[in-house]
Structure 1
Amino acid sequence: MSLASPSPAKIAVSVSGIEKAFGPTRALAGADLVVEAGEIVALMGANGAGKSTLVKILSGSISADAGTITLGGKTVSFASPSEAQAAGIATVHQATDQAGAAGLTVAENLTLNELCGTGNFFVSGRSIRKRAQEIAAAIDLDLPLDRDFIDLRPAERQLIAIARAVAAKASVLILDEPTSSLSSTEAERLFAVLRRLKASGIAILYISHRTGDLAAIADRAVVLRGGRVVASFARPIDFSAAVAAMIGRTLDASAHDGKPSSAPILASVKRAVLVPGARPFDLDLRSGEVVAITGTLGSGKSRLLRALFGLETLVEGGFTIDGKPWLSTGPSYSIVRGVFMVAEDRWASSLLPPEIPGATIAGTIALPHLPRWFPSGILNTTRERLAATQAISRLGIKARGPDDTLDQLSGGNQQKVVLARWQAAPCRLLLLDEPFQGVDVGARADLIAAIRGSQSGSATLIATSDTEEALEVADRILVMRDHSLYEADGSHGSLAAAIGSVEAAETGNVTS
């Protein structure tokens, strides 16, 4: 359902006919978008739809080839991010380490824009602290002003960037995947801040793949596909229609039948204690089974996967694989024996910078398998390229070919390459930590199909903070809280009940 055209007096920012090409690739092909003052608009789109390009143009990082930007009723163009910021457009990026300066305090980071603009080398610590208190109070930010930025959580870093934007009197705030690394509690805190900013008249462009976030915060959703806006949905947002508009097709309601597996047990976790004082738990993974562990950030999901892969040690308990004790001494030991892991941060753990030789799709997929594929030490690029070509076809990776570097791909296609790496060799146990983070709905469907389509002789254990993702991909779902596991079936109600029962037990509110 489309919204009526807004009144020109209410428009905070609009783009009309924006075009941008990178060589033969058209990232934007006449995009139009309007955001009113005091409105939160969700920008949805599959990876490669043009969202990032549009944001970069609005924030002054790149310029458009054609089209116009209107801000506060005036046509503008920006040669740099600083020009966009000075005009009133503030962008908070997904990578929160860019939201401030390590080595500076919270107070110094809150006043960073003003300090850089004064040219006054004799600003006192007292005046910085006083101004920082004023900036923090504007969004009810309660942080120790003398804490170092590097010690802050991602949510706290984001709030500092937002507070700076408000202090700079930004009229437009752009948020790129703001909750991708936040707990549910931190996300709610962010939403409360955004609602206050909306009430004050700030226009907010909110980019996220999480439909739960958008249902909670967005007044309207705009869908990009092929570099154009193809649909606009008013609240309450019809996400089934929005997803269909994003990818040009509908998605199946479920990826599996959810029936219990009778296959033999492939891997077991026995009386495991992840941290001192945690409740011991057991877990069996059956051949051909996909098991998801859901829970909040810090609940212990990632720690369990890292322990299985040999990056952590248990306080108590142990593992078995194929009935034999499993004690990995590290990733190399695990990889040789068919236990593979995709970590949460793909750039830190799985992808190489483009300037390094071999940082192509083919080289990335082949990298951990080189000792087995080429024991003589002589590389055969034909084999590397064949594995990459097969992966591109099998997973629907949008690339020109196996020699593309990973920085040329969207986030969803990067993640497909990472998964393809571990599907290129025989696997017994695949460990996936937040595999759909920053991945659009269409790419997520492709990843789920690839995960479930390669399960005949292996098991997959997935850690995800998103209940919807767990329901889509898993045969069986468990809830982790305070580093222990609790069973749940695949329904929303069961998951809510399982989480609720754990919370009740912890607060002593259990009823018989």
Structure 2
Amino acid sequence: MPLLDIRSLSLSFGSTRALDAASLSIEAGEIVALMGANGAGKSTLVKILSGVQRADSGAVLWKGLPFAPASPAAAGRAGVVTVHQSTDVVGIPDLTVADALMLDCFIDGRQPFFLSTASVRRSAARLLKGTGIDLPLDRRFGDLGTADRQMVAIARALSNKAELLILDEPTASLSSLESQRLYALLRALKAQGLAILYISHRTADLQALADRVVVLRNGRDVGRFARPIDFDAAIEAMIGRPLPAAETRGAAAPGKPLLHLHGAALLPDSLPFDLTVHEGEIVAITGVLGAGKSRLLSTLFGVYPLASGNMTLAGMPYRPKGPAEAIAAGVVMAAEDRHRSSLMPAGWPGESIAETISLPHLARWYPSGLIDTRRENREAARAIERLGIKARSPDASVWSLSGGNQQKVVLARWDAAVSRILLLDEPFQGVDIGARQDIIDALRSQRGRATLIATSDPDEAHAVADRVLTLSRHTIETAAHGEITEPQALREQKEDA
């Protein structure tokens, strides 16, 4: 008898069919991967299992009995715990890791009323000892990297006696090295009998971990694959068509030098480096978490000053005092967390596709202060067609779109005006394989400007870039001519992992 048995589950939101008779099962001590494009129904399925939503029809059996938790807390008490992609809600920044680990115990009254720092630390240490996870208990939770936040979330799940752990895109923000650390933990938990439902767009994750793969498309389970997993067939089932064969291409013929950094140090104690980027070039910056990828892009965008050294843009000194000066100079950026940095909150003015695209251009497009909604809608309609954004109209809320389509809207914002350099920080996070290919095609088609992409995934870097550079300890590692070639960067990343 399966530990979890989902039978013909369906759920609709108005005329939208989020799940359409979807089925899957999972045994104890098994890792089942759930693949699907954005909007395929993965999140809806997880919300039902987590007690956030109720299905319209179908059944969920947990240990052979009907299972319909009324809340995430109820699901957790039954042994079903979800660790979401965003780890912001796992802990409070100013609390210690020990406090973050014990939050559930504080909330449900399992800890005594009077507590001391020492007693909380002892309880957290006992909790970790039973999981095999090693974390710095006295460190501020807010200072942890994404990988350690994931470990805190998993440790808390295990402390609640989880029997099924649902992981939603756990490696989306992790480097190869941090991903390998997570893989090792999950294999150990599997050996202890824990069942894991693993949701990911990264085939590297699934190759490393999955015993089976279940594919969702348009709310239906359309494919099941056991080891050895045929990922080409799984991807075809996921997107409904064969994925185009990867291009074999050399580096594009470089245009004129556009951006030059000379003796640049990102931090006072980091080694200086030189970097030249040419017109029409796509350059990927890879490296482990904390290597300085985001810092480099943010410095180019005027968020941080250079600690030392000089920058020139098109032969002129370039040292922006803020993003507004960078944008005025033609340097634009889509930051790592699009939900925080690029999208207005749901329900606020400015949340439509058209308004999202026009937001940074308002002063230039409408100097009189009178907004021309017809122009906004024309720009949005052009972006919808060019980038293949799946939306009902330009005035649709950006929050009604899948992650991949949201990212396309963010890119469309900077396609709506002339720019010299496009900076993209982890542009493929939470983006499915089909949407990722659309974004890559769009980037390659806009070769008049230079594009710098920061990514923790060497395979993504290889797929999109003309050159790949490796950043380590906030400096670019140098080869014979001051640059890391693409094959070398990939080799070093994989050896580190």
Secondary structure at 2:88 match in 1: helix
Question: Take 2:307 and 2:115, find their aligned partners in 1: how far apart are those partners?
Answer: 49
- Larger displacement relative to structure 2 (379-388 or 242-251): 242-251
Following superposition, the deviation at residue 265 of structure 1 comes to 1.8
Equivalent runs, 1:158-237 vs 2, <5 Å: 158-237=150-229
Taking a change above 3 Å as real, the CA distance of residues 419 and 123 of structure 1, as seen in their structure-2 partners, is same
What is residue 309 of structure 1 aligned with on the other side?
A: 301
Deviations along 1:265-315, one digit per CA (max 9) or x if unpaired, are 222222222223433322222222111111112112221111111111112
What is residue 53 of structure 1 aligned with on the other side?
A: 44
Taking a change above 3 Å as real, the CA distance of residues 80 and 449 of structure 1, as seen in their structure-2 partners, is same
- Larger displacement relative to structure 2 (213-222 or 251-260): 251-260
Deviations along 1:334-371, one digit per CA (max 9) or x if unpaired, are 21232111111111111100222121110010000111
Secondary structure at 1:18 match in 2: strand
Secondary structure at 1:97 match in 2: coil
Following superposition, the deviation at residue 216 of structure 1 comes to 1.5
Q: Report if aligned partners of 2:173, 2:456 keep a CA contact under 8 Å in 1.
A: no
- Aligned: 1:37 with 2:37: no
- Aligned: 1:88 with 2:79: yes
Question: Take 1:270 and 1:250, find their aligned partners in 2: how far apart are those partners?
Answer: 45
- Aligned: 1:356 with 2:352: no
Code of the residue aligned with 1:294 in structure 2: it is T
Q: CA RMSD in A?
A: 2.1
Following superposition, the deviation at residue 137 of structure 1 comes to 0.5
Secondary structure at 1:320 match in 2: strand
Deviations along 1:134-161, one digit per CA (max 9) or x if unpaired, are 2111112333434443333332222222
Question: Take 1:176 and 1:498, find their aligned partners in 2: how far apart are those partners?
Answer: 28
Question: Take 1:315 and 1:447, find their aligned partners in 2: how far apart are those partners?
Answer: 33
Give 5+ residue unaligned stretches, structure 2: none
Q: Report if aligned partners of 2:217, 2:238 keep a CA contact under 8 Å in 1.
A: yes
Following superposition, the deviation at residue 259 of structure 1 comes to 3.4
TM-score (norm 2): 0.93
Q: Report if aligned partners of 1:138, 1:163 keep a CA contact under 8 Å in 2.
A: no
Deviations along 1:70-98, one digit per CA (max 9) or x if unpaired, are 11111111221111111110001111121
Secondary structure at 2:3 match in 1: strand
Alignment match of 2:278 (pick from 280, 286, 291): 286
Taking a change above 3 Å as real, the CA distance of residues 189 and 94 of structure 1, as seen in their structure-2 partners, is same
Code of the residue aligned with 1:216 in structure 2: it is A
Q: Report if aligned partners of 1:279, 1:484 keep a CA contact under 8 Å in 2.
A: yes
Following superposition, the deviation at residue 246 of structure 1 comes to 1.2
Question: Take 1:117 and 1:274, find their aligned partners in 2: how far apart are those partners?
Answer: 45
- Larger displacement relative to structure 2 (478-487 or 409-418): 478-487
Following superposition, the deviation at residue 499 of structure 1 comes to 5.3
Equivalent runs, 1:139-154 vs 2, <5 Å: 139-154=131-146
Alignment match of 1:320 (pick from 298, 312, 315): 312
Secondary structure at 2:355 match in 1: helix
Question: Take 1:436 and 1:453, find their aligned partners in 2: how far apart are those partners?
Answer: 17
What is residue 489 of structure 1 aligned with on the other side?
A: 485
Following superposition, the deviation at residue 496 of structure 1 comes to 4.0
Question: Take 1:189 and 1:461, find their aligned partners in 2: how far apart are those partners?
Answer: 28
Q: Report if aligned partners of 1:18, 1:29 keep a CA contact under 8 Å in 2.
A: yes
Q: Report if aligned partners of 2:426, 2:453 keep a CA contact under 8 Å in 1.
A: yes
Following superposition, the deviation at residue 46 of structure 1 comes to 0.7
Taking a change above 3 Å as real, the CA distance of residues 247 and 273 of structure 1, as seen in their structure-2 partners, is same
Alignment match of 1:472 (pick from 463, 474, 477): 463
Question: Take 2:320 and 2:288, find their aligned partners in 1: how far apart are those partners?
Answer: 26
Question: Take 1:396 and 1:256, find their aligned partners in 2: how far apart are those partners?
Answer: 24
What is residue 332 of structure 2 aligned with on the other side?
A: 340
- Aligned: 1:117 with 2:113: no
Question: Take 1:482 and 1:266, find their aligned partners in 2: how far apart are those partners?
Answer: 25
Following superposition, the deviation at residue 497 of structure 1 comes to 4.3
Number of aligned pairs?
A: 490
Code of the residue aligned with 1:106 in structure 2: it is V
Code of the residue aligned with 1:245 in structure 2: it is A
Taking a change above 3 Å as real, the CA distance of residues 322 and 219 of structure 1, as seen in their structure-2 partners, is same
Secondary structure at 2:107 match in 1: helix
- Aligned: 1:461 with 2:452: yes
Question: Take 2:123 and 2:271, find their aligned partners in 1: how far apart are those partners?
Answer: 46
Code of the residue aligned with 1:410 in structure 2: it is S
Following superposition, the deviation at residue 102 of structure 1 comes to 4.6
Question: Take 2:315 and 2:92, find their aligned partners in 1: how far apart are those partners?
Answer: 50
Question: Take 1:500 and 1:276, find their aligned partners in 2: how far apart are those partners?
Answer: 29
Question: Take 2:121 and 2:266, find their aligned partners in 1: how far apart are those partners?
Answer: 41
What is residue 89 of structure 2 aligned with on the other side?
A: 98
Q: Report if aligned partners of 2:254, 2:280 keep a CA contact under 8 Å in 1.
A: no
Question: Take 1:439 and 1:238, find their aligned partners in 2: how far apart are those partners?
Answer: 21
- Aligned: 1:393 with 2:385: yes
Q: Report if aligned partners of 2:22, 2:220 keep a CA contact under 8 Å in 1.
A: yes
Secondary structure at 1:313 match in 2: coil
Code of the residue aligned with 2:470 in structure 1: it is V
Code of the residue aligned with 1:31 in structure 2: it is A
Secondary structure at 2:453 match in 1: strand
- Aligned: 1:373 with 2:365: yes
Alignment match of 1:442 (pick from 434, 455, 475): 434
Superposed structure 1 runs of 4+ greater than 6 Å apart? none
Deviations along 1:90-118, one digit per CA (max 9) or x if unpaired, are 00111112123455443343333334334
Code of the residue aligned with 1:227 in structure 2: it is G
Give 5+ residue unaligned stretches, structure 1: 1-7, 504-512
Q: Report if aligned partners of 2:174, 2:456 keep a CA contact under 8 Å in 1.
A: no
Code of the residue aligned with 2:313 in structure 1: it is I
- Larger displacement relative to structure 2 (136-145 or 401-410): 136-145
Code of the residue aligned with 2:61 in structure 1: it is T
Question: Take 2:92 and 2:80, find their aligned partners in 1: how far apart are those partners?
Answer: 20
Q: Report if aligned partners of 1:17, 1:29 keep a CA contact under 8 Å in 2.
A: yes
Question: Take 2:308 and 2:94, find their aligned partners in 1: how far apart are those partners?
Answer: 38
Alignment match of 2:16 (pick from 20, 25, 28): 25
Taking a change above 3 Å as real, the CA distance of residues 259 and 150 of structure 1, as seen in their structure-2 partners, is closer
